[in-house]
Amino acid sequence: MIDVIAIVGPTASGKTALSLELAKRLDGEVINGDSMQIYRDMTIGTAKILPEEMQGIPHHLLDIKNPDESFSVAEYQTLVREKIADIQSRGKLPIIVGGTGLYVQAVLFDYRFSEEAVDQELRDSLHQELEELGPDNMHRKLLALDPDSDIHPNNTRRVIRAIEILMSGQKKGDRELALSPMYNELIIGLDIPREILYERINQRVEVMLGRGLIAEVESLRNRGIRDVQSIQAIGYREIYAYLDGQATREEAVRKLKQNSRKYAKRQFTYFKNKLPIFWIDALADPEKNLQEIIAFMQENDRDCRIDKLTTKFNTSRELGGFS
């Protein structure tokens, strides 16, 4: 029986709308799968769903950290697995929704983290590489391992530590276990032509600005929040540069759109290379997509819960909306 669903895809591909319809149809509850939506007071820039948009569906692991607190994939893994057990104990279906591929992978598969597993030889070689080739090279190395990383290139200590964890953070005998599923999961991916996605991203940035993104970032800045993990998120570091006088508003907005598009490209790469995904067309008819998902579940699940629940589809919200 499929006991966990994950919905992944690049930013602005329609994950939120799909998750709401699936949750209503499958008696599910949503778990945040975005590394930045865990922060309080960072709503507009992270495209966080608002309470009035949740349509009565319980949402978990939103707004659980202050912006000046750190957060790791290992901590996320622990919290989500606990939340999955809690949701399942109440007879509900957990639905993880988000674009942070490493976070989703770490939860659904036997992905292990161990401080003791860091190889000193690897650590020495990374520091030598940093000295010889510089921080930009190390940051590119990190992004090749984790396209979702939001660590600033100049924070070389955290860049090197992240590479260490990703390259040897598992016990050597456990590497194959990272591919072993922890649940009978279904990972749904939203696919969308790149040119259409990029236009959606550009439009969404304008919507964020209209909703008060600059004021949201300014509020964080006025509280003295800077040089922390959360502020390195796309949408925040660009506006900080504008508020600090390092860029004009036009330059900051242009950079924000550009960085969002680059991030979406990295997301696609990660999803297609790292996760076993059931892909659907984000531009297809919403009902068609839902029926394809249900058919797949029925074919792969003798005790599919959809047979016991309503199949009424609420068309009040299109799947092509922003996520």
Please report, in range form, the residues annotated as the binding site for substrate. Answer: 11-16
Token pair for 202: 């550009």
- 43 SS3 class: coil
Q: Which residues are annotated as a binding site for ATP?
A: 9-16
Give CA–CA dist 114/91, Å, rounded. Answer: 33
Residues 6+ apart with CB under 8 A from 69: 39, 228, 230
Structure tokens at 266: 């990295």
Q: Is 235 exposed, middle or buried (0-12, 13-18, 19+ CB in 10 A)?
A: buried
Angle among Cα 312, 60, 166 to the nearest 5 degrees reads 115
Report the first-to-last Cα separation within the chain, whole angstroms: 28
Annotated binding site: 9-16
